[in-house]
Amino acid sequence: MAKRTIDDLTDAEVRGRRALVRVDFNVPMDDRGAVTDDTRMRAALPTLDALFARGARTVVLLSHLGRPKGGPDPRYSLAAVARHLATLTTRPVRFVTSTVGPDAVQATTSAAPGTILLLENTRFLTGEEKNDDALARQMAELGDFYVNDAFGSAHRAHASTEGVAHHLHPAVAGLLMDTELRFLGDALAKPQRPFVAILGGAKISGKIDVIDALLRKVDALLVGGAMACTFFRAMGLETGTSLVEADRVDMAKALLSRAKDTLLLPNDAVVAPSLDAAATPHAVARDAIPAGEAMFDVGPRTCEAFAQRIAGACTVVWNGPMGVFETPPFDRGTRAIAEAMARATAAGATTIVGGGDSAAAVDGMHLASRMTHVSTGGGASLEFLEGKVLPGVAALDDRSN
Ligand code: ADP
Ligand code: MG
């Protein structure tokens, strides 16, 4: 069921009112407290602008930051994030040192029209992650309607992402959330075929469910990363010192026999004795991985084969790097996929990147703008691809038509 968005709100629901917006400002910071990557913050700005354009009086922001344990911790204060936000917008930004309670409510009602308020870290409150109902009710007093724009947190049922939506209506999706749901949702629900998915990353264990779900939908599933090594072991190949999850080999066997021709594994690998700069990497066929070496990337023949599949696809979804892209030259496989996807986008295909490290890789290669969509949600996009219902989405108002 489609969810109501900001665009569906009536003027009476927005004008002169306080918008309580859950954003995902869980941004990386350096030890001096400066924001080092503000992608998530900039991604939320269109929602804030849209709310003011619709006549909202005040925008009240809730977010978590990091993983503070059991109470307030200055290292995780959103004060520094508020300062950074002030540099991204011409509107006045005010930081509020409390998250809920009389002072916070007072700040939301007394702020000058046009002000953006950022409240303190939701995870300073013990009820947040427990989705405590009393806390959710307190949060509901901070606004006159609720907007969830935190796609990256939507797979968690917390007071600020799920509970509050039961006590404050309208409860609608923000523009960023709506974009994520539309791209990921359409890709899975009605993909233009051929539909090709690419999976990589370190571990197969966290991605079994997504392999399973995608195998039912795609025309081809291309597997790279260390994940491929667990499949190699399942095929009885030598994997040397590669990262293999021994306790998942049986599961990999079962997936292989079920997948038949849909699942494509690398046919060659770039191996080295270690990730050391001095260790010389070389490409070998997948059945010739030396006993003392590890696969750190897919090989050149694989890059070519995967790129060809991507070129022939109309929908491409990618999660997980093909190799240890953080350590060149083991970034070549990941780069080859990103470039093939960029070319596919230009040729008219829908290309979607999900996953924290994959998105970072595409960003680092300056190819993000050449994808149809790069998801801001790591874990959330993975759960979405698994076909799970995200609680933060489910709690929002359904669209009537
Ligand atoms: P994402 O965040 O995009 O979902 P993951 O977190 O699953 O991706 O995996 C990313 C990590 O996988 C990267 O840190 C990368 O170095 C690692 N990785 C990829 N291929 C290999 C490999 N062959 N051996 C060891 N690590 C790998
Ligand atoms: Mg990751």
Q: How far is the CA of 203 from the centre of ligand 1 (A)?
A: 7
pLDDT at 401: 66
Q: What is the average per-residue pLDDT within 304-315?
A: 98
225 CA closest ligand 1 atom index: 20
> Would you call 388 exposed, middle or buried from its count of C-beta atoms within 10 A (0-12, 13-18, 19+)?
middle
Separation between Cα atoms, residue 23 and residue 152, nearest integer Å: 9
pLDDT-based confidence at 387, cuts 50/70/90?
confident
Cα 400 vs. chain centroid, distance in angstroms?
A: 28
Distance of alpha carbon 383 from the chain centroid: 10
What whole-number distance in Å separates Cα of residue 57 and Cα of residue 13?
11
For ligand 1, say whether the CB of 357 is within 6 Å of any of its atoms.
Answer: yes
**350 Cβ contact partners less than 8 Å away, ≥ 6 residues apart:** 183, 186, 187, 191, 192, 314, 315, 316, 372, 373
Which helix H or strand E contains 350, and what residues bound it? strand 350-354
Convert the pLDDT of each residue in 326-362 to its tens digit.
999 999 999 999 999 999 999 999 999 998 899 999 9
Q: Is 191 helix (H, G, I), strand (E, B) or coil?
A: coil
Give the whole-angstrom CA distance, residue 319 versus residue 321.
7
Q: Which of 357, 358, 376, 384 maximizes ligand 1 atoms within 8 Å of its Cβ, making it the mutation to test the pocket?
A: 357
Cα distance between residue 274 and residue 166, in whole Å:
52
| 296 alpha carbon – ligand 1 mean position (Å) | 10
209 has a pLDDT exceeding 90: no
CA dist 163 and 139 (Å) reads 9
Distances 101 to 31, 142, 154 between C-alpha atoms, Å: 30, 9, 24
CATH 1.10.357.10 fits 6-179, yes or no: no
**Cα–Cα distance between 11 and 338 in angstroms, integer?**
42
> Are 159 and 122 in contact, with CB atoms under 8 Å apart?
yes
Same fold, 6-179 and 191-386: yes
pLDDT in tens, 277-289: 778 999 999 999 9
191-386 placed in CATH 3.40.50.1700: no
pLDDT level of residue 251 (50, 70, 90 thresholds): very high
Pocket test for ligand 1, best of 203, 211, 324, 363 (most atoms within 8 A of CB): 324
Residue nearest to atom 10 of ligand 1 (CA): 201
Cβ atoms of residues 351 and 368 within 8 Å: no
- 153-183 confidence digits (pLDDT tens): 999 999 999 999 999 999 999 999 999 999 9
Ligand that comes closest to the CA of residue 293: 1
Query: Cα 362 to the chain's mean position, in Å?
Result: 13
Residue extents of the structural domains in the chain: 6-179, 191-386
pTM of the entire predicted model = 0.88
Which one from 33, 55, 66, 379 is the annotated catalytic residue? 379
